Chain A
Amino acid sequence: MSQARPPDPAPGDPSPGRRLLRMARPRATKANALAALLAILLGFAVATQVRQNQSLGLESLRQSELVNILDNATLRERTLDQTARELQATRDQLVSGSTGGAAALKAAQERLDALRILAGTARASGPGIRLTISDPGAKVTSPVLLDSVQELRDAGAEAIQVNNIRIVASSHFNQGASGIEIDGKSVGPPYTITAIGDPATMSSAMEIPGGLSENVRQLGATITITESKDLTVGALHPLSTPRYARPVPQPAPTSAP
């Protein structure tokens, strides 16, 4: 152990400073050399330890400290895991919400397209047939044209145009003094009817015995039917706001009489 002993400086001794100086003088003794060696070792150890401490890594820690660090890391991981799960759930909700919104938007768009084609406010294109009735004798009357439109609707036509008038639910045919009027606009021969639908069904519906073709030919007019993969019904029906009819608010079914 060290040489910590109660101090008993003998009187008459040289002063401590001088004693220290005397002791510091190099003495060529074995013990002094050993002490120097130990001092070298001490300095080396101090420097090493300081340097080691500055670059402290996990490997220099004790088991209990490592366990502490591990515990902290586990706890933190659990918290972060929890947070991640919550965020994931929120994200899933948001994604499904937005896809639901997109689906609803798509459905609404499809409904709008269907209604616009029905109301005649949108151009329609697709497979269909084109009827051309040339009527040199002006024998074709409005009931014949109305028949043709009805036949086409029977055969599944989805959009119909006569000359450049779009036929919609409210279209009316009239035999005026100057000829045929559709929706108040006079239509003259030759009549060109464009219908979008299944071409084969519609053309065969036109050709059946007692059907439109036969009637038209009996009147002395000629009819040509052209099936096509891609036709366009380009005429538009001006949209008019109903003056009298009002939509009935959709009540609960129980309140209806």
Chain B
Amino acid sequence: MIPALGLLVGLAVGLFLHPAVPLALQPYLPIAVIAALDAVFGGVRAVLDGIFNDKVFVVSFLSNVVVAAFIVFLGDQLGVGSQLSTGVVVVLGIRIFSNVASIRRHLFRA
């Protein structure tokens, strides 16, 4: 409940403050957001599986974000930044889909 409220608060703050993304962070922010979404869906699935752990969620969230950003950074350094970003987005998208499928099976038994 509190994290869900936090999400709404963050959205509202971001919409009202019009923050500008620093130039150095611009390639990483979208990937980091996708990675964080993956962690969130993974957390929800873990709750439904009965194996949720606050600490594991926080660590997985942070490591997801950092690793995704790092992969993109590495790709930029190697000159394959856009391709690697696409790859990361694809992988994370597949994971999000499988997590959502699992959640759906729990909630709707279908």
Contact = CB atoms under 8 A, between A and B. Distances in A.
Given A1-B60, A48-B14, A38 B3 contact: yes
Interface of B: 1-15, 18-21, 23, 26-27, 29-30, 32-33, 36-58, 60-64, 67, 76, 81-82, 95, 98-99, 102, 105-107
A29 B3 CA distance: 12
B33 A49 contact: yes
Contacts of A32: 2-3, 54
Q: Which residue, A27, A31, A44, A65, has most C-beta atoms of chain B within 10 A?
A: A44
Closest 10 CB pairs of A and B: A43-B10, A47-B14, A2-B42, A31-B54, A39-B6, A3-B46, A40-B10, A36-B6, A44-B10, A43-B11
A243 interface: no
Contact of B49 (A7, A33, A40, A64): A7
Interface string A1-37: 1111101111001001101100111110101111111
B1 A10 contact: no
Interface of A: 1-5, 7-10, 13, 16-17, 19-20, 23-27, 29, 31-49, 51-53, 59-60, 62-65
B14 A46 contact: yes
A29 B57 contact: no
Contact of B40 (A8, A24, A42, A59): A42
Given A31-B54, A38-B3, A51-B18, A45 B42 contact: no
Contacts, number: 174
A4 B42 contact: yes
A contact patch SS:
helix
11 contacts: A4-B95, A4-B102, A7-B45, A20-B47, A26-B2, A34-B58, A40-B10, A41-B10, A43-B11, A46-B33, A52-B21
Nearest to A7: B49
Given A17-B107, A49-B21, A3 B60 contact: yes
A59 B41 CA distance: 32
Contact of A65 (B36, B62, B82): B82
A19 B46 CA distance: 11
Given A3-B56, A19-B50, A60 B26 contact: yes
Contacts of A19: 47-48, 50
Nearest to A65: B82
A5 B107 contact: no
B29 A44 contact: no
Contacts of A65: 82
